[in-house]
Amino acid sequence: MTTQEKFKNAIRDVKDFPKPGILFKDITTALKDAEVLKEISDLLYEEYKDKGITQVVGIESRGFILGSILAYKLGAGMVLLRKPGKLPADTFKVEYELEYGTDSIEIHKGALNSDDVVLLHDDLLATGGSASAAINLINKFDVKELHVNFLIELDFLNGRDRLSKVDAVYSMVHY
């Protein structure tokens, strides 16, 4: 069984979360399995080990989990994209729409520079709202390259269509 198949089998579906009509893909059941977590981490490392990544940017909050592991394995720094008011220094902020509401994220103004090769990581690509907002924030720094990675992509929501000004997009599993 491939890593992708093991990961898919370990994901729990939660109906009507966070609101009625949403089928939430819960990765916590996969993360608690040490073997699956290791295999996911190793597979993502193999995907990016030769890309020259200098910074991994994780989207709050599930993007912090594997983002941190990837940063460590790649010998890169870790940059956090957080909800408003959670970062202590001056920030850039972008508001965006979710499939079930609106939100905003922030990044420290000095977090990246034009020499950085960035890997943006999050757990899920749905409609592309949070990923597009994150890309807009990262592009304020005129980084050298921007790679985008998701554990899960919900293809039927066409979120990838909203992702522009990136060098590559990779999703480990598709629904």
Active site amino acids: 62, 99
Name beta bridge partners: 149: 121, 170
Burial of 132-170, coded b for 16+ CB within 10 Å and e otherwise, reads bbbbebbeebebeebbbbbbbbbeeeebbebbeebeebe
**166 neighbors 57 (Cβ within 8 angstroms):** no
CA separation for the pair 17, 21 (Å, rounded)? 8
**Which alpha helices (H) appear in the chain, and where do they start and end?**
3-10, 28-31, 34-48, 63-74, 129-139
